[in-house]
């Protein structure tokens, strides 16, 4: 399936990884959102369950093994080109994840990976639904 100008929406999974009052963000290496901070995640592969996909994506981009403990939300990501045509169309399914093992390090589709406090998150430019799902994750864990 092609990512740009897709014939059908693509399914993506995202990991809101919280640990000790902080959340992991990765800096995207490739479009869409290349160079922007976001939660770890990517496209679901054929034969994967949603939870398997989010565990794989988290490990590939951050080096962390996670446990997806709760579904946080489902979001539309529609990006149009200058002519108004659909350039990217993702249905994103984001999970609250608990860190099990590993040390944070950027890899795969991530140029950088860092832990951010809630206060630091407020200073980062994020897509609105990404900021929303991170706030929801912090609320769920009581931070």
> Domain for residue 87, yes or no?
yes
Q: Please report the pLDDT score of residue 143 as a whole number.
A: 55
* Average pLDDT of the residues in 69-85: 95
For the domain that residue 73 is a member of, what is the CATH number?
Answer: 3.90.79.10
> Domain for residue 3, yes or no?
no
* Residue 32 binned pLDDT confidence (cut-offs 50, 70, 90): confident
Cα separation, 124 vs 54, whole angstroms: 23
> Is the pLDDT at 62 greater than 70, yes or no?
yes
Percent of the chain predicted with pLDDT > 70: 99
β partners of residue 7? none
Average pLDDT over the chain, rounded to an integer: 94
> Domain for residue 40, yes or no?
yes
Which SS3 state, helix, strand or coil, does residue 120 take? helix
**Span between the terminal Cα atoms of the chain, in Å:** 39
* Average pLDDT of the residues in 44-71: 97
Query: Which stretch of DSSP H or E encloses residue 116?
Result: strand 110-116
Domain count, the chain: 1
> Domain for residue 33, yes or no?
yes
> Domain for residue 1, yes or no?
no
> Domain for residue 2, yes or no?
no
Domain span at residue 99 reads 10-141
> Is the pLDDT at 108 greater than 90, yes or no?
no
> Domain for residue 131, yes or no?
yes
């Amino acid at each position: 399936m092609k990512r740009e100008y897709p014939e059908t929406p693509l399914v993506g999974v995202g990991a809101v990884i919280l640990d000790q009052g902080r959340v992991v963000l990765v800096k995207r290496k490739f479009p869409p959102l290349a160079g922007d901070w976001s939660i770890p995640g990517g496209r679901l592969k054929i034969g994967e369950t949603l939870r398997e996909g989010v565990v794989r994506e988290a490990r590939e981009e951050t080096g962390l093994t996670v446990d997806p403990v709760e579904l946080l939300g489902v979001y539309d990501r529609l990006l149009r080109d200058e002519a108004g045509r659909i350039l990217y169309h993702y249905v994103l399914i984001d999970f609250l994840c608990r860190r099990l093992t590993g040390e944070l390090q950027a890899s795969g589709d991530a140029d950088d990976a860092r832990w951010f406090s809630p206060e630091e998150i407020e200073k980062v430019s994020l897509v609105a639904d990404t900021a929303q799902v991170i706030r929801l994750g912090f609320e769920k864990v009581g931070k």
